[in-house]
Amino acid sequence: MKSQTGNHAEKVKCLVIDLDNTLWDGVLIEDGRENLSVNRELIEVLQQLDRRGILLSIASKNDEDAVVPFLKELGIEDLFVFPKINWNPKSQNIAAIAADIDIGLDTLAFIDDNQFELEEVQFSHPEVRLLNARDYGSILHDPVFTPDRITRESKSRRQFYRQQMLRKRAEQTHNGLYRDFLRECNLEVTVRGARESDLDRVVEIVQRTNQMNFSTNRHGPERVKEMLHSRKFNMMLIEASDRFGRYGSVGVVIIQVVQAGVWDIQDLMFSCRIQGKGVDEAVIIHLMQAARDEGVQKLFGNFRKTQRNRQFLNTYRRLGFGLQEQHENCYRYVFYPSRDNTPPANHVMIKQEA
């Protein structure tokens, strides 16, 4: 792994690869695909990363009309999400990939054979990890490419983002307002009690989520298990789907029952897969309505502001919570279900399961 001055996340979430003289020896549009030598060992590395839940994408200066059929011929076209195959600077394409996936640049790694391209990306995005193509053999042994745990959701992560590609294409061709497009997506959310079998996925969401994480608590497996079995806590898993397919398990809510009539939303976090779709607001409104139905007198919400999550700071207040106290970057909000108005439900259809 090339050393740089940028700050990196502890784990890589997406590896972006070059194609010419990286995935194959030679230049596709000059040599023709019949004269290329495909790096089968690198393909095996990529497939193993995919099984680990690490996303794969492409940043290649190339002819997309020539590349895509070749990738399909190799049987690996669907291995990649949001590929950028054009003549733009690779730093620009890598930034676009991060935006499409909705993850930080510091969670990306980029592999290329060309030192100029590596330096160009480093100059614009020092937080991106860089690898020379000749060093691909070390990837599977590098701890940054080894998740702490691999769940069913991890193994399906690429498919979730392939569906996201379809959503983005449909959105781009939609004539009308974005909120109307969301309604047409028929977004459904299920809020259900977490089970023992959900433990790994809950821990994964807690550990991986940065942007849509209201508390930024990093509970370990033992603490999550303790709360799961405690009567003082109500842990819920959030699942979502729409007309394009399943998002899978996309969020976690942990409520502490402080005393009779007092609920405290300790943790509220969502996968970036559903960012901008109104799921966070829909879930909070659902909790507000549930608190009213259960005769709760006070519903607290907590927020710890960071550089990553600050855009969600006003979510509680926008939905009718009042700011009770603030200490440095920690905010505590309160909602009185019997007195305050609950906002109307948005376009998201929510159902509660035990």
Instruction: Return the DSSP state at 190.
Output: E
Residue 278 has pLDDT above 60, yes or no: yes
Angle at 84 between CA 80 and CA 90, to 5 degrees: 120
Q: Across-strand partners of 300?
A: 264, 334
Instruction: Map out the domains of the chain with their CATH numbers.
Output: 14-145 (3.40.50.1000), 152-353 (3.40.630.30)
Cα separation of 334 and 337, whole Å?
Answer: 10
Lowest mean pLDDT among 23-27, 252-256, 329-333, 350-354: 350-354
Percent of the chain's residues with pLDDT above 90: 87
Cα separation of 58 and 73, whole Å?
Answer: 17
Average pLDDT over residues 26-54: 95
Contact 85, 64 (CB under 8 A): yes
What does the chain come to in residues?
354
Q: What is the pTM of this model?
A: 0.79
Phi, psi at residue 11, to the nearest 5°?
-130, 145
Top-confidence residue, 102 or 319? 319
Q: Rounded mean pLDDT of the chain?
A: 94
Question: What pLDDT is recorded for position 148?
Answer: 84
Residue 4 has pLDDT above 50, yes or no: no
Average pLDDT over residues 222-247: 96
Question: What pLDDT is recorded for position 5?
Answer: 45
Cα separation of 7 and 22, whole Å?
Answer: 26
Identify which of 111, 84, 87 has the alpha carbon closest to the alpha carbon of residue 100. 84
Instruction: Return the DSSP state at 186.
Output: T
Residue 50 has pLDDT above 90, yes or no: yes
pLDDT band at 161 (very low <50, low <70, confident <90, very high): very high
Cα separation of 172 and 28, whole Å?
Answer: 30
Contact 21, 115 (CB under 8 A): no
Contact 43, 74 (CB under 8 A): yes
pLDDT band at 28 (very low <50, low <70, confident <90, very high): very high
Starting at the edge strand that comes first in sequence, how are the strands of the sheet with 129-132 ordered? 84-86, 55-61, 14-17, 108-112, 129-132
Residue range 168-203, pLDDT digits in tens? 999 999 999 998 999 999 999 999 999 999 999 999
Contact 313, 345 (CB under 8 A): no
Q: C-alpha distances in angstroms, 89 versus 1, 4, 6, 22, 94?
A: 22, 20, 20, 17, 9
Contact 193, 354 (CB under 8 A): yes
Contact 110, 16 (CB under 8 A): yes
Half-sphere exposure of 2 (CA within 13 A, CB side): 24
Question: What pLDDT is recorded for position 6?
Answer: 57
Average pLDDT over residues 55-83: 96
Phi, psi at residue 220, to the nearest 5°?
-85, 175
Contact 114, 89 (CB under 8 A): no
pLDDT band at 318 (very low <50, low <70, confident <90, very high): very high
Cα separation of 351 and 240, whole Å?
Answer: 10
Residue range 111-157, pLDDT digits in tens? 999 999 999 999 999 999 999 999 999 999 999 999 888 888 888 89
Residue range 74-116, pLDDT digits in tens? 999 999 999 999 999 999 999 999 999 989 999 999 999 999 9
* CA max distance for the chain: 74
What does the block give as tokens for 12?
């890589």
Residue range 330-346, pLDDT digits in tens? 999 999 999 989 999 89
